[in-house]
């Protein structure tokens, strides 16, 4: 059977890695931020964001799906009541990874992974509206207006290009 090639292994076995990521996700939702190594933070981010997306849906089936990973009922309750409400207006990007100085003992690259609790700024909404308007205008415009001029060489490449 071929070995899994999903990404760099953080632990000795896939089962140990799953348990370690589940424990880190539990700590992240419990405390709001954790300090860990950079590879662990990068592997934790998609799992945490997927769990928050499930919590935003809020039904019983998704609560049970989250309970498969996070086994602490108080943390699951906090995820579904507090964290999901904070992230209601956000469409992704629920976590942030901040690189910090290397760990003192073994100089491993360290990072802080934290939940983004700031509200979505109105500027982002304006930018999204402008992008949507640009896309609509591009669809309505005739194809001749959107055609780009051909690229020209900036400098000649061979002596024959110099001949007039």
pLDDT at site 128: 77
Q: What distance in Å separates the CA atoms of residue 58 and residue 120, rounded to the nearest whole number?
A: 21
For the chain, list the domains and their CATH numbers. 14-116 (3.90.1030.10)
User: What pTM was estimated for this model as a whole?
Assistant: 0.70
Point out the residues of the chain with pLDDT beneath 70.
Answer: 1-8, 124-125, 141-164
pLDDT at site 78: 95
HSE of 38, CA atoms in CB hemisphere, 13 A: 10
Q: How many CB atoms within 10 Å of residue 45?
A: 17
In this predicted model, what pLDDT tens digit does every residue of 127-147 receive, in sequence order?
778 888 888 777 776 655 556
Q: What percent of the chain has pLDDT over 90?
A: 57
């Amino acid at each position: 059977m071929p070995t899994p090639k999903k990404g760099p292994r953080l632990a000795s076995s896939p089962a140990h890695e799953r348990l370690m990521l589940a424990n880190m996700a539990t700590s992240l939702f419990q405390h709001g931020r954790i300090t860990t190594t950079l590879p662990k933070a990068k592997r934790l981010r998609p799992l945490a964001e997927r769990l928050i997306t499930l919590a935003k849906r809020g039904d019983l089936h998704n609560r049970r799906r989250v309970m498969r990973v996070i086994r602490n009922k108080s943390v699951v309750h906090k995820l579904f009541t507090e964290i999901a409400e904070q992230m209601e207006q956000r469409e992704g990007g629920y976590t942030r990874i901040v690189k910090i100085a290397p760990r003192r003992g073994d100089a491993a690259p360290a990072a802080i992974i934290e939940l983004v609790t700031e509200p979505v700024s109105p500027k982002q909404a304006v930018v999204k509206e402008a992008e949507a308007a640009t896309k609509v205008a591009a669809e309505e415009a005739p194809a001749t207006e959107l055609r780009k001029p051909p690229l020209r060489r900036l400098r000649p490449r061979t002596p024959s290009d110099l001949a007039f």
